[in-house]
Amino acid sequence: MSGVTMGDRHDYVALDWVKGEISETLNQARQALEAYVETPEDTTRLRFCLTYIHQVHGTLQMVEFYGAALLAEEMEKLAQALMLGNCVHEAEALGVLMQAILQLPAYLDRVQSGRRDMPMLLLPLLNDMRTARGEKLLSETAVFSPQLRSDEPQPTEQLIDYSSQPVILQLRRLRQAMQITHAAIIREQDVERNSHQLGRVFLRLQQLFQGTRHAELWAIFAGVAEGLEHGSIESGAAIRQLLRTADRELRQLLDEPETITQREPNPELLRNLLFYVAKSGGNSPRLAELTEHYQLSGMWVDEQSQAAQGDSGLVGPDQNTMHSVAAALNEELLQVKERLDLFVRSSTRSQSELAELIPDMKRIADTLAVLGLGQPGGCCRSRSSGSSS
C-alpha cells in the first residue's frame, strides 16, 4: 500500500524508515550538546552536535518533509552561530537548541499520526531559534498578517508635553522599573509577580502616550505581560527579545521627545507581539480585548480547544487565515515580479535596484518554507542568494 494519502504528496512509509535513524542521531546530538555545556572549553563537542544535526537535516530533505527539514535547518544555523561565537546570549541559545533537539522527534511522531507536515506549528520555536542568532522572526512574514490600526484617526490635540522635565523624569522611572522586572523575568525569578508589575508599567506608559500611536504599542506589551503572568504566553527567547525591544523603544522616545506625536511604532514589532497574543488564546481580560480589537480569533487554533472538539490532528491557523496568507503572498510575489520586469526592460540597469529585491525575496522564501512549500521556498532563497552575489 502506498504511503501517500490523497491530496498529500508526502511518503509516510519513507518517513517510517528514517525515523529511527533520525531519533538516534538526535540523541547523539543531545549528548554532544550536554557534554559541551558541562565543558564549554571543549568545542569539539559542539562540532559533533553540528555534524549530527546536519545529517538529520539532509535526511529530512531527502524524504521531502520540508516542515521538519526547516526546523532542522534552523537548528543547524543556530549550532553554526554558537560555533562561531555569534550568539550574544549563549546560555539562552544553548537552551533553545536543546529544546529543538528534544522537540523534533515529537513533531515527527505527530506528523506521522496526523498525516500532515505543518511547520507553522513550529513557529514559536523557530522564532526562538532565529532570535538566538539575531535574525528576524518568521512571524514578520505574510504567514501572520493581522489588520493593524494605523489607519484609524489620531487625536489632533496633544495633551502632554513630552519635552517637559516632570514627564521625562516619570518616563525614566518607568524605564528603570521596566528594566528591573524584565531582568527578573529573564532570570525566571517569581515570573508571575514580576510580569504583573511589568504589565502595570506598560499600562502607565499606555496612559502617558494616549493620543499618540505609541499608546497602541504599550497596550499590546501590557497584554503580553498579562499572558506571561497567567502562563498563556511562555517566556521563550523571542519573547525575551521583544521585551528588550520595549526598553529600546522607550529609550528612543526619551532621546527624541519632540518626534513622539509624529512617529509610529514599527509595524513588524506590532505583528510579532500580536502573534503571541493570538497564540495565547486570549483567556484573560487584556488579551481578550486585544484579540477582539485586532480580530485575532482563528488566526491560531490552540491545541486544547481542538482536543476538546475531539480532533487529534495537528493544530495551527484556520482555513480563513490560510486563505489570507495565500492572498498576501500572491500580492508580494506580484510586486517582486513587476519590479523585476521593470529592471529587465530598463535601459539603465543598476545592481542596487536588484539588491533592493533581496529582502522581499528572502521574506517570501521564509513564508513558503513555513507553509511547508519547501521546494519553491528553496528556489526563491537560491534566487535571492544569486542576486546578492
Q: Is residue 265 part of a domain?
A: yes
Are residues 336 and 267 part of one domain?
A: no
pLDDT at 24 over 60: yes
Phi, psi dihedral angles at 260 (to 5 degrees): -60, -45
Q: Band of the pLDDT at 314, cuts 50, 70, 90?
A: very low
What pLDDT score does 276 carry?
A: 93
Q: With DSSP H G I counted as helix, E B as strand and the rest as coil, what are the percentages for the chain, rounded to 5? A: 70, 0, 30
Asked if residue 58 is part of any domain, the answer here is yes
Grid coordinates given for 36: 559541551
All three cell numbers of 82: 554558537
Evaluate the CA torsion angle 312, 315, 318, 324 in order and state its sign.
negative
Mean pLDDT of the chain: 82
Domain check: are 43 and 86 in the same one? yes
CB of 98 closer than 8 Å to CB of 45? no
Residue at 156 is within a domain? no
In a domain, 180, yes or no: yes
Give the pLDDT score at 322.
62
- Give the CATH number for residue 210: 1.20.120
Q: Same domain, yes or no, for 97 and 54?
A: yes
Q: Assign 241 a pLDDT band (cuts: 50, 70, 90).
A: very high
Model-level pTM greater than 0.85? no
Whether residue 146 is contained in a domain is answered as no
pLDDT > 80? residue 385 = no
Residue 3: per-residue pLDDT: 40
Are both 180 and 292 inside the same structural domain? yes
The confidence score (pLDDT) of residue 359 equals: 73
The enclosing domain of 123 has a CATH number of 1.20.120.160
Is 78 domain-assigned?
Answer: yes
Under the banding of pLDDT at 50, 70 and 90, the label for residue 312 is: very low
Alpha-carbon span 128 to 237, nearest angstrom: 5
Does 380 or 368 have the greater pLDDT score? 368
**225 located within any domain:** yes
- Domain check: are 270 and 207 in the same one? yes
Domain shared by 34 and 119, yes or no: yes
Same domain, 283 and 254: yes
Instruction: Dig out the grid coordinates for 372 from the structure.
Output: 511547508
For 131-164, letters b (16+ CB in 10 Å) and e give bbbebbbbbbbbbbbbeeeeeeeeeeeeebebee
Cα distance between residue 22 and residue 320, in whole Å: 34
CB 213 within 8 Å of CB 252: no
3 is a domain residue: no
Examine the domain organization and report whether 287 and 336 are in the same domain.
no
Domain span at residue 262 reads: 165-298
- pLDDT at residue 303, as a whole number: 46
Q: Which of 229-238, 241-250, 323-332 has the lowest mean pLDDT?
A: 323-332
Domain co-membership, 178 together with 289: yes
Task: Say yes or no: 102 and 191 in one domain.
Answer: no
User: What digits encode the pLDDT tens for the residues 342-370?
Assistant: 777 776 766 777 777 777 777 777 777 77
Which grid cell sits at 330?
500572491
Q: Provide the number of structural domains found in the chain.
A: 3
How far apart are alpha carbons 71 and 75 in whole angstroms? 6
Note whether 102 and 30 are within 8 A (CB).
Answer: yes
Top mean pLDDT of 39-48, 288-297, 300-309, 330-339 is at: 39-48
